[in-house]
Structure 1
Amino acid sequence: MGYGITLRVSGDYALYTRPEMKAERVSYDVMTPSAARGILEAILWKPAIKWVVDKITVLNQIEFESIRRNELGSKVPPRNVAKAMAGAAIDLHQYTTPDRQQRASLILKNVDYLIDAHFVMVPQKAGESDTQEKFYNMFLRRARGGQCFHNPYLGCREFAAKFKLVEHGEERPESYYAEEAKIDLGWMLWDIKYGEEVLKRKSVYTYEPKFFRACMRHGIIEVPDEVSL
């Protein structure tokens, strides 16, 4: 296991969309491991390291709120983009007025989490001067100073996240569910595994969603590693 960190993230609203909901968005009860990894990568991302989320602590009571938002009903087809890149005269504009749709979303409010994670080195992409200590200190410096490559968010970009590093030896806040022995949250998205295959002498990028059975014990969700899924 690499160097471990604890990060506290919070926000007014969050939306971790369940993939089984098609037309309108419904959030998971808590933050997903992939969303937690996205926040860590927003603070520090390097090809030489890979973030691994160990556990997520739910500090506040789980509360939902229903809202309505304007969304576009379609997107620019990839084939049109490919034709435009090849030099064809293709209109890539999206006209929001005729394509606007109102959709309801069931989102979380007043969220507050602790993310416990560590990173491992990627030997194929690490340079001679890349060490675990180097990236660990780099993350500490950036997290303490509030620095990030892009503003981290809670599931959707419009729901910005506030973050604060929990220093070693600092007292951890107690979860609202500290007295609850076990709460079954059902199947949850763990992450998406990306790969590459060669089909008919062409490289094709693939992706495979991974799920796990999320159980919250005393407010803490232990995130399994990829091997145990």
Structure 2
Amino acid sequence: MKKSNPFRLKVWGANACFTRPEMKVERVSYDVMTPSAARGIFEAILWKPAIRWIITQIDVLKPIKWDSVRRNEVGAVMSPKSKCLYIEKERQQRAGLILKDVEYIIHAYFELTERAGDSDNVTKFEQMFLRRAKKGQCYHRPYLG
């Protein structure tokens, strides 16, 4: 497998939530960004079938702070057979424990996959990533959970 040079990406936000799977109903975040969330941020900037991002390290730059939030959610899904859904009857208030004022540096590199074509090479994708990151371009907006 051919792999790229290492990249470092600084990400920050007012809030973040990396939900722990054992607490789905009342969402509670992990203390730190998960590797899969970090990979999602890199893939938001550059995703190609020919590459796979590998996260090597996540640096936490700000102290871990928590915030408790409440929000209204709808407890039911409207089925194709039903004609309507009464939101007032299905409304549920859920609590969440989220991170606030977060900042990370994510360290990663990518490897070429078996789906890489003859014209695909590491340098090409390195330059694409750097160009897109510097311009703030992304395939979809990265988010912190």
Same fold (TM over 0.5): yes
SS at match of 1:137: helix
The residue that corresponds to 1:153 in the other structure is 143
Counterpart amino acid of residue 103 in structure 2: D
The residue that corresponds to 2:116 in the other structure is 126
The residue that corresponds to 1:111 in the other structure is 102
- Residues 93 and 52 from structure 1, CA distance in 2 versus in 1: closer, same or farther, beyond 3 angstroms? farther
CA distance in 2, matches of 1:26, 1:108: 9
- Identify the match of residue 61 of structure 2 among 48, 59, 62: 59
TM-score, reference length from structure 2 = 0.91
- Identify the match of residue 19 of structure 1 among 18, 21, 38: 21
The residue that corresponds to 1:7 in the other structure is 9
The residue that corresponds to 1:185 in the other structure is none
The structure carrying a bigger helix percent of its residues is 2
The residue that corresponds to 2:90 in the other structure is 99
Q: How far is the alpha carbon of 1:76 from its aligned partner?
A: 5.5
- Residues 71 and 142 from structure 1, CA distance in 2 versus in 1: closer, same or farther, beyond 3 angstroms? same
Q: Which ranges in structure 1 are unaligned for 5 or more consecutive residues?
A: 81-89, 156-229
The residue that corresponds to 1:169 in the other structure is none
Contact 2:4 2:123 in 1 (8 A): no
Q: For residues 175-219 of structure 1, give each alpha carbon's deviation from its aligned partner in whole angstroms, at most 9, with x where no partner exists.
A: xxxxxxxxxxxxxxxxxxxxxxxxxxxxxxxxxxxxxxxxxxxxx
TM-score, reference length from structure 1 = 0.59
Counterpart amino acid of residue 43 in structure 1: I
Q: How far is the alpha carbon of 1:97 from its aligned partner?
A: 3.4
CA distance in 1, matches of 2:139, 2:131: 13
Q: How far is the alpha carbon of 1:3 from its aligned partner?
A: 2.3
CA distance in 2, matches of 1:95, 1:152: 33
Q: How far is the alpha carbon of 1:69 from its aligned partner?
A: 1.0
CA distance in 2, matches of 1:146, 1:35: 18
Q: For residues 122-164 of structure 1, give each alpha carbon's deviation from its aligned partner in whole angstroms, at most 9, with x where no partner exists.
A: 12x1111111110110000000000001110001xxxxxxxxx
The residue that corresponds to 1:142 in the other structure is 132
CA distance in 2, matches of 1:75, 1:122: 39
Q: Which ranges in structure 2 are unaligned for 5 or more consecutive residues?
A: none
CA distance in 1, matches of 2:78, 2:53: 32
- Residues 95 and 8 from structure 1, CA distance in 2 versus in 1: closer, same or farther, beyond 3 angstroms? farther
The structure carrying a bigger strand percent of its residues is 1
Alpha-carbon RMSD across the aligned residues, in angstroms, is: 1.8
CA distance in 2, matches of 1:49, 1:22: 31
CA distance in 1, matches of 2:25, 2:97: 12
Aligned length: 143
